[in-house]
């Protein structure tokens, strides 16, 4: 129902707004302080939770949003992975995962029984300790682009087995509880595990046979809304069906991502889903923070410290040993051991289920539950630091034993191509340029939303990424950060400006070249960080080709007019945007007319028509006209300024950046050392 006038906001909106606002503020502060945002989200949750400021009290809606966050996070991880890569780490999943879970349960149980804890609560505590946080570990790996690294693959393999083991843990809880009943015993456990394996098998078959043509049909609708809804429906629907079968929703979401990863539209799907995943994942980490009771932390510091130490030592040792047993090498095993040395988000669910059958951590009742929550939150906060410590330890071990396992791979080592050219769109300009570039020996990657265009580019032997070029994951899939140049040849100016804005962060080193319909788009493109613009109404596709090749370090042998005579001392680059800004100390009242412009010709326009040469060139900052200075016989710059009433010119001679106002007869010093938008 709509709120009547004068009524206050609904309770759920207050809490959701508090979470989102806190997340935005904390995220900004973390970015400025160069702190991992996850840590900030957890601490913000502690601050606004029911045990501190009390802004968030009712947990049902928050828990639901957090659960969606975990689902979307695992879904995006699945998209970035693939079935082939999953099969490649099956030894890590089956052998490493089983050794890690079993080792953590046995070691924890033994230590607690030695301390006087009964067998049943000791085993229950071991189950809790054996689980790591899939959400935070994969988020940290994804942010570093290290999911495919040795440590990333090792961690992912162990986490997948933990999600499978949760099925068995839920069934075995009543058996080890005080009532000793439930679950159907060993038969129920076998049936549940068999169901889980059947779900995985069916999902893999669907991924290979059914979903690729379905997503292809959805993509042909050319509707971003329909594509996004279809992908989200696949994600949530698969998670729901796997939950009905007794498999965790996290594993179901990961499997749904694997389904999409087998489609040619995986990058497109990732780009559409990622903004939602960021929002809901932040909500998840905030919600975890709201669980911590700071008062208990202050009242029982020794109990909390003991719980933290127990989990940290047991998880680091057993995970390292399990990973090492699979043959990954000591450096990778140690790094993974510290990365997984925390308690996972599903342990909260398992702990609540344990209470229903009379089980609490270490058999300590409410104190045990609070100590478990406090230790879990503190270890989640410490995970980024532990991960960094793991990388440092791995590097030290690698230096000592250079023949051991491969060192931790950075994201840069997984780049499929380097030094290539990325084309956005597959129109006539892109097709012409692709032929010229491949003929010159350059590798070309095409980004397009058009299924027909993608098929045509693939038929031409080009690598194709299907998706919206404004989405960072699509640019990542095209390896734009490693490209020599990114060419926006068939995009509208507004679209090109948005793509250029994303490229400033994802591929700051790449030259961005835009084919624009007219000079009116130059200012907007310059503001987005574009330095090179080729105008459709001024030049044909050959000019675009020459511009891109020159940026790649292969200039043409001659210009369009056969090259400038030697006595023409300066030739202007007509594809490079010039943006003159006068320094405030020398600016006159007319300096404000200067705007980003493209030089209209390579030399003085009038001298070119008359067949003359020039001495110095000046550029009109109002329209881009190029004229010769007063030292030349024609004095065409002054003539243009007088005839067109464009008062401000700037020098385009090498090493010069000053301007001149013809009305005030004033020299204008530049606000910066360079005029180009690339400065």
| Phi, psi (degrees; rounded to nearest 5) at 178 | -70, -30
| Separation CA 467–CA 428 (nearest Å) | 19
- Residues ≥6 apart with Cβ < 8 Å to 463: 416, 417, 443, 444, 445, 446
pLDDT value of position 257: 82
* pLDDT, tens digit (0-9, with 9 covering 90-100), for 254-263: 788 877 877 7
* SS3 readout for 116-159: CCCHHHHHHHHHHHHCCCHHHHHHHHHHHCCCCCHHHHHHHHHH
| Separation CA 63–CA 18 (nearest Å) | 14
Q: Which of 375, 400, 425 is the last residue of a domain?
A: 400
Q: Do 378 and 426 share a domain, yes or no?
A: no
Q: Which of 520, 551, 582 is the last residue of a domain?
A: 551
Q: Do 266 and 389 share a domain, yes or no?
A: yes
Task: Find out whether 172 and 353 touch, Cβ atoms under 8 Å.
Answer: no
Q: For residue 441, is it left (φ>0), alpha (ψ between -120 and 50) or beta? A: left
| Separation CA 577–CA 567 (nearest Å) | 25
Q: Do 452 and 361 share a domain, yes or no?
A: no
Q: Do 381 and 474 share a domain, yes or no?
A: no
pLDDT value of position 648: 95
- Per-residue CA distances from 421 to 202, 437, 472, 528 (Å): 39, 8, 17, 20
Burial degree of 3 (CB within 10 A; 0-12, 13-18, 19+): exposed
pLDDT value of position 406: 40
* pLDDT, tens digit (0-9, with 9 covering 90-100), for 74-109: 787 777 666 666 777 888 888 999 999 999 999 999
pLDDT value of position 162: 86
In a domain, 173, yes or no: yes
* pLDDT, tens digit (0-9, with 9 covering 90-100), for 183-222: 455 566 566 667 767 777 777 777 667 777 887 788 777 7
Pairing, β 511-516 against β 485-488: parallel
Tally of domains in the chain: 3
In a domain, 14, yes or no: no
> What CATH number is attached to the domain comprising 513?
3.40.50.720
Task: Find out whether 643 and 666 touch, Cβ atoms under 8 Å.
Answer: no
In a domain, 406, yes or no: no
pLDDT value of position 8: 60
In a domain, 266, yes or no: yes
Q: What b/e readout covers 39-60, taking b as 16+ CB neighbours within 10 angstroms?
A: bbbbbbbbbbbeebeebbeeee
pTM for this model (two decimals): 0.58
The low-confidence residues of the chain, meaning pLDDT below 70, are 1-12, 57-59, 61-62, 80-85, 145, 167, 178-193, 196, 207-208, 246-248, 400-417, 490-491, 537-546, 549, 553-569, 672-679
Q: Do 285 and 368 share a domain, yes or no?
A: yes
Q: Do 521 and 608 share a domain, yes or no?
A: no
Question: Which structural domain, as residue segments, surrounds residue 119?
Answer: 58-177+185-400
Number of Cα atoms under 13 Å in the Cβ half of residue 259: 33
Place of tokens 């230096």: 399
Q: Do 214 and 72 share a domain, yes or no?
A: yes
Q: Do 374 and 422 share a domain, yes or no?
A: no
pLDDT value of position 133: 86
| Coil/strand/helix, residue 486 | strand
> What CATH number is attached to the domain comprising 286?
1.20.1530.20
> What CATH number is attached to the domain comprising 651?
3.30.40.10
């Amino acid at each position: 129902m709509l709120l009547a006038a004068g009524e206050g906001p609904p309770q759920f909106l207050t809490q959701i707004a508090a979470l989102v606002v806190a997340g935005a503020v904390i995220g900004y502060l973390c970015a400025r302080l160069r702190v991992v945002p996850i840590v900030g989200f957890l601490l913000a949750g502690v601050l606004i939770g029911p045990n501190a400021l009390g802004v968030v009290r009712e947990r049902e809606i928050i828990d639901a949003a957090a659960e969606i966050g975990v689902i979307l996070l695992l879904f995006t991880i699945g998209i970035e992975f693939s079935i082939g890569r999953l099969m490649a780490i099956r030894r890590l999943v089956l052998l490493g995962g089983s050794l890690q879970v079993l080792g953590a349960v046995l070691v924890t149980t033994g230590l607690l029984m030695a301390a006087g804890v009964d067998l049943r609560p000791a085993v229950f505590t071991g189950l809790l300790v054996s689980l790591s946080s899939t959400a935070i570990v994969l988020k940290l790996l994804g942010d570093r682009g290290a999911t495919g690294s040795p440590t990333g693959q090792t961690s992912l393999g162990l986490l997948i087995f933990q999600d499978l083991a949760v099925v068995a843990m839920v069934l075995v809880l009543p058996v080890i509880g005080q009532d000793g009943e439930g679950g159907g015993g060993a038969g129920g456990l076998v049936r549940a595990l068999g169901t889980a394996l059947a779900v995985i098998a069916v999902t893999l078959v669907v991924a290979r046979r059914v979903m690729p043509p379905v997503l292809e049909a959805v993509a042909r609708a050319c509707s971003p809304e329909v594509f996004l809804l279809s992908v989200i429906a696949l994600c949530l629907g698969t998670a729901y069906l796997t939950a009905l079968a007794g498999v965790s929703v996290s594993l179901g979401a990961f499997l749904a991502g694997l389904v999409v990863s087998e489609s040619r539209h995986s990058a497109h799907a990732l780009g559409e889903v990622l903004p939602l995943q960021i929002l809901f994942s932040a909500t998840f980490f905030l919600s975890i923070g709201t669980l911590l009771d700071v008062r208990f932390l202050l009242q029982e510091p020794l109990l909390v410290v003991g719980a933290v130490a127990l989990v940290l030592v047991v998880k680091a040792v057993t995970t390292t040993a399990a990973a090492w047993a699979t043959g990954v090498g000591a450096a990778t095993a140690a790094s993974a051991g510290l990365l997984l040395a925390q308690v996972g988000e599903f342990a909260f669910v398992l702990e609540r289920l344990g209470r229903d059958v009379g089980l609490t951590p270490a058999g300590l009742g409410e104190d045990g539950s609070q100590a478990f929550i406090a230790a879990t939150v503190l270890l989640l906060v410490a995970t980024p630091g532990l991960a960094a410590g793991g990388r440092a330890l791995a590097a030290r071990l690698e230096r000592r034993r250079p023949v051991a396992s491969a060192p931790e791979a950075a994201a840069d080592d997984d780049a499929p191509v380097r030094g290539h050219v990325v084309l956005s769109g597959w129109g006539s300009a892109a097709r012409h340029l692709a032929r010229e570039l491949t003929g010159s020996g350059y590798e070309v990657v095409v980004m397009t939303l058009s299924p027909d265009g993608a098929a045509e580019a693939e038929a031409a032997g080009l690598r194709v990424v299907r998706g919206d070029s404004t989405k960072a994951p699509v640019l990542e899939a095209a390896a734009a950060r490693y490209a020599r140049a990114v060419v926006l040849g068939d995009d509208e100016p507004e679209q090109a400006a948005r793509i250029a804005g994303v490229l400033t962060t994802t591929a700051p080193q790449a030259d961005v070249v835009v084919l624009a319909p007219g000079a009116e788009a130059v200012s907007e493109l310059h503001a987005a960080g574009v330095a090179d613009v080729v105008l459709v109404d001024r030049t044909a596709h050959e000019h675009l080709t020459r511009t891109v090749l020159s940026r790649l370090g292969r200039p043409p042998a001659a210009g369009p007019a056969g090259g400038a005579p030697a006595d023409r001392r300066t030739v202007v680059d007509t594809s490079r945007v010039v943006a003159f800004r006068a320094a405030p100390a020398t600016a006159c009242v007319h300096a404000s007319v200067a705007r980003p412009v493209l030089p209209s010709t390579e030399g003085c326009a009038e001298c070119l028509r008359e067949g003359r040469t020039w001495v110095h060139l000046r550029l009109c900052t109002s329209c881009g006209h190029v004229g010769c200075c007063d030292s030349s016989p024609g004095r065409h710059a002054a003539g243009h300024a007088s005839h067109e009433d464009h008062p401000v010119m700037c020098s385009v001679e090498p090493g010069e950046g000053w301007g001149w106002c013809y009305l005030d007869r004033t020299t204008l010093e530049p606000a910066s050392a360079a005029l180009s938008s690339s400065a």
